[in-house]
Structure 1
Amino acid sequence: MIYKTLNGVKTYAPQSRKELIDYAFQNKAILVAINAEKILHATDESRDIINRNLGYPDGIGAVWALQKKGCKDVVKIPGCELWLDIVKHYFQNKTFYLVGGKEAIIQQTVKQLQQEFPGINIVNYRNGYVKTEAEKQALITDITEKKPDVVFVAMGSPKQELLMEEIQQQHPALYQGLGGSFDVYTGNVERAPKWWVDNNMEWTYRLLKQPSRIKRQKHLVRFFVNLHLKKY
């Protein structure tokens, strides 16, 4: 699978979700979602974290940037859908470990997964409030002992990526950072309706629902100008 560098951010260009998932399993990779904001606001630290792992196009901005670089068949793969694709296709023969969210959210997430995917083997789970070094070491020890095939960590960047890297040193597996995906999955946070998602206007829907996001999204104008001027 090919990749391109976008403002110093190494971003892979999968032509399908299956290609990305197969590649991640083969390489026991840490999947990191890439969008316009991560490209535009890349720092030396964030670039290093992403470039050590498997960055994939989570947002349409990343897709357009890859297309500008000649990757015509690249597809957008939202992270909040990707982790469920992994579960859907592998729940019968892979084991899972979940970390993240508030206690009520992780409990609800596990319950829904067990209902939606009967027989899924979730070897353990815990909330995302890992506050002490002792708690972190206990988590790493538990994952190392239980040896899950897949570990999902929903804590936000870069905290989740740094934690996954530390765990992976002790237990190689497929890892994916999920941000707020457990909240979306359980219905505690609303995602844009299908039409807005399918037409690459999810950001517009979010802005209409939450006008205060304009301070954050105005930077996207600069991203698209830079993209047009081929600065990436």
Structure 2
Amino acid sequence: MPAPSPRHKVVGLTITACGYDQFIDQVIDAARHRESGYACFANAHMIVEAARNPTFRQAVNRSTWTLADGVPLTWALRWLYGIRQERITGLDVLPTLFREADRHQLAVYIYGSTGEVLAMCNRYCLHHHPTLRIVGMYSPPFRPLSPAEEAQVTTQISLSGAQLVFVALGCPRQEAWMAALSDRIPAVLLGIGGALPVTVGSQKRAPRWMQRSALEWLYRFMQEPRRLFARYAVTNTLFLYYLAQQWYRQQRPLPADPAELTDSYL
């Protein structure tokens, strides 16, 4: 595994500071050497979820990479640390890694999503990457798997020879799954969530100008206003609140006597 990129804390998650090409190179190198690791793509929703859910926070922070998928996280890194971090999204990474896996003849496994989306993915890959080595696809039941079923899935993926495993279970399920099983699978796991249906054409992505203008969230909101209104209103407000708290703590000088430290400093 290449030397890990530096990470910086945003509220409760430590975000990897690296460039897009650097991340892709690290993933390909780890996959070629069949090294275990996993990548999470973080946004404001995940920051808020991590602040309220210690188990989820631990699962994400144990990752090999936690990337700034959402624009607010790139702003937070610049505000808190002066870091100009480019956005690294699952929506961009997935087609890039399909192409790179094809070029390097890496074995790919896709775990999650629905049977319909996996069928579309198979057609997409046959059309765009006809020589891509897809060694398996599996859409698990929505219910939690039993320990025996989990062990069977882990064995199946490992024996397939997969070097890249795209995990499309959605947050926070995919992060918990990767944290629990990554050590048992000699491959790089990537929690791509909703990137798979967009990549294969089941759903549409925001136009390029909206992506560049940090308005991709608005495009998603326009598609599903009823479902996303409460989530965006509550999540974004909490994200700004937690971020302001962190900024305030970072401006306060630490007391000379460590015994004077309180929870408000930690």
Q: TM-score, normalised by structure 2?
A: 0.79
The number of equivalent residue pairs is: 231
Q: In 1, Cα distance between the equivalents of 2:181 and 2:46?
A: 23
Runs of 5+ unmatched residues, structure 1: none
Runs of 5+ unmatched residues, structure 2: 251-266
1:1-232 correspondence runs (5 A)? 1-14=5-18, 16-24=19-27, 25-26=29-30, 28-42=36-50, 43-53=53-63, 54-92=65-103, 93-129=105-141, 131=143, 132-133=145-146, 134-212=148-226, 213-219=228-234, 220-224=236-240, 226-227=242-243, 230-231=247-248
Q: In 2, Cα distance between the equivalents of 1:114 and 1:211?
A: 35
The amino acid of 2:207's aligned partner reads P
Amino-acid identity (%): 24
Q: In 1, Cα distance between the equivalents of 2:119 and 2:181?
A: 22
The amino acid of 2:25's aligned partner reads D
Q: Secondary structure at the match of 1:62?
A: helix
Q: Secondary structure at the match of 2:81?
A: coil
Q: Which region of structure 1 is more displaced relative to structure 2, 49-58 or 210-219?
A: 210-219
The amino acid of 2:6's aligned partner reads I
- Aligned-residue offset at 1:71: 4.6
Instruction: Provide the aligned C-alpha RMSD in A.
Output: 2.1
The amino acid of 1:35's aligned partner reads N
Query: Are the counterparts in 2 of residues 152 and 177 from structure 1 also a CA contact under 8 Å?
Result: yes
Q: Which region of structure 1 is more displaced relative to structure 2, 22-31 or 5-14?
A: 22-31
Q: TM-score, normalised by structure 1?
A: 0.90
Q: In 2, Cα distance between the equivalents of 1:114 and 1:135?
A: 30
- Aligned-residue offset at 1:78: 1.3
Query: Are the counterparts in 1 of residues 36 and 183 from structure 2 also a CA contact under 8 Å?
Result: no
Structure 2 CA distance for partners of 1:188 and 1:112, relative to 1, 3 Å: same
Q: Secondary structure at the match of 1:41?
A: helix
Q: Which aligned segments of 4 or more residues in structure 1 are displaced greater than 4 angstroms?
A: none
Between structure 1 and structure 2, the one with the greater Rg is 2
Structure 2 CA distance for partners of 1:119 and 1:72, relative to 1, 3 Å: same
